[in-house]
Amino acid sequence: MRKIIVLLTTVLILLTGTFAQNHYFDLFYVKTYLGGGDISRNIIEANIVALEPLQEIVLELPENFADVRAEDIQGNDIDITIVENDLTIYLDPLEKGRSTFVKITYFTDDSVSFINDNRIFTYAFTSPSRIKDFRFTIFLPLKATITMKNGTPLVYPRAEIDSDGEKISVKYKETLEQGQEFSTLITYNLNRNHTYLLFLLGLFSGALIVWFFLKRRNNRRINVRVSETLDEDEKLIYDLVRAKDGILQKEIVQLTNFSKSKASKVIRELEKKNIVKKEPYRKTNKIFLR
């Protein structure tokens, strides 16, 4: 019996060491600036507090990022390394209880997708450590408006929506624990004026117009088939896969609020109907349209 107690104590000590945090974030503020296309500019402002001597932290970036830069509060560059999606930031040595500020900027084309006249912004984040004050503000493009359904903004989860008369911003404020997930989905459109649309139409050649209408007719046939054969859960996942042109299964779980087992079941049904295909990707799967 004594050996069992000693063994359990050892396991608990090892587990505690594995999951122990060596820092937390007093502030973690993400600002995303959306343009007219699919590229977004992202700024992370973080105040890091050391729980033990600290020299580096690791953050996970989204796919297809570019032009990553990290700087201190004076605007001086901070050394970084990137391996796949993991960004390691090298800090001046911090003693326990001390804090430092880091600003990270990067661009990505992985967060905005297109469905008909709408654009869909999606974001999924897993907290690397405890965040006392997590803030996230999304700045929509100039003159863009949030898409409404039955008088309700298509913003998930609900958020504070603000405007300066020209740009709409969507704001979140949370407290996140280590490993806690946060995700959002915002549907919006750009409200281009009639004159501008005529100008764009004038740029198309005859061949391109033919291609456009053939493609649209084909998409319409696909949409008719989808609406006739899928239930609400299947259509929700289908729309996400179609919008993202491929999406991680864990992102589907975060964005739909489905359980892992429910998401897997719905994806299997879509596979049986030959609508999506699943490919292994790191520790999860990536879902594509067939």
CATH number, residue 263: 1.10.10.10
Q: Provide the pLDDT confidence category of residue 143 given band limits of 50, 70 and 90.
A: confident
Q: Which residue has the tokens 């949370």?
A: 174
**CATH code of the domain covering residue 62:** 2.60.40.1730
Q: Provide the pLDDT confidence category of residue 136 given band limits of 50, 70 and 90.
A: very high
Domain of residue 203: give its range. Answer: 194-289
Structure-token pair, residue 56: 């580096």
Q: Is 261 exposed, middle or buried (0-12, 13-18, 19+ CB in 10 A)?
A: exposed
If asked whether residues 162 and 210 sit together in one domain, one would say: no
If asked whether residues 126 and 113 sit together in one domain, one would say: yes
Omega before 93 cis (within 30°)?
A: no
If asked whether residues 242 and 178 sit together in one domain, one would say: no
Distance CA 149, CA 129 (A): 36
Residue 16 has pLDDT above 70, yes or no: no
If asked whether residues 56 and 33 sit together in one domain, one would say: yes
Which pLDDT score is estimated for 225? Answer: 54
Distance CA 111, CA 61 (A): 12
Please say which residue of 172, 189, 206 terminates a domain: 189
Distance CA 29, CA 48 (A): 12
Backbone angles phi, psi at 236, to 5 degrees: -60, -45
Residue 194 has pLDDT above 60, yes or no: no
88 occurs within a structural domain:
yes
Distance CA 288, CA 281 (A): 12
Pairing type for strands 131-139 and 23-34 reads parallel
Please say which residue of 134, 155, 189 terminates a domain: 189
If asked whether residues 65 and 156 sit together in one domain, one would say: yes
Q: What does the DSSP 8-state code read for residue 193?
A: -
Residue 171 has pLDDT above 80, yes or no: yes
Mean pLDDT for the stretch of residues 184-207: 57
Distance CA 105, CA 69 (A): 5
Which pLDDT score is estimated for 25? Answer: 95
Which pLDDT score is estimated for 46? Answer: 95
If asked whether residues 248 and 268 sit together in one domain, one would say: yes
Pairing type for strands 160-163 and 80-83 reads unpaired
If asked whether residues 77 and 204 sit together in one domain, one would say: no
Distance CA 107, CA 116 (A): 24
Mean pLDDT for the stretch of residues 136-153: 90
Mean pLDDT for the stretch of residues 89-96: 92
- Collect all residues with Cβ–Cβ distance below 8 Å to 176 and sequence separation of at least 6: 28, 127, 130, 131, 134, 182
Q: Identify the H or E element spanning 6.
A: helix 2-19
161 occurs within a structural domain:
yes
Q: Identify the H or E element spanning 222.
A: helix 206-229
Model confidence over 247-272: pLDDT tens digits?
888 888 877 778 888 888 888 888 88
Among the residue ranges 98-107, 122-131, 135-144, 221-230, the one predicted with the least confidence is 221-230
| Sequence letter at residue 23 | H
Chain centre distance of CA 194: 32
Q: What does the DSSP 8-state code read for residue 108?
A: E
Share of the chain above pLDDT 90, in %: 37
Model confidence over 205-237: pLDDT tens digits?
344 444 444 444 444 444 545 556 788 888 888
Which pLDDT score is estimated for 235? Answer: 81
Distance CA 80, CA 107 (A): 16
Q: Provide the pLDDT confidence category of residue 70 given band limits of 50, 70 and 90.
A: very high
Distance CA 247, CA 86 (A): 19
Distance CA 119, CA 138 (A): 14
Pick from 14-23, 158-167, 242-251 the range whose average pLDDT is largest.
Answer: 158-167
The pLDDT mean for the chain works out to 79
The HSE-up count of residue 134 (CA atoms within 13 Å, CB side) is 18
Closest to 186 (Cα-Cα) out of 225, 147, 218: 147
Q: What's the structural domain count of the chain?
A: 2
Model confidence over 26-65: pLDDT tens digits?
999 999 999 877 789 999 999 999 999 999 999 988 777 8
Mean pLDDT for the stretch of residues 74-99: 92
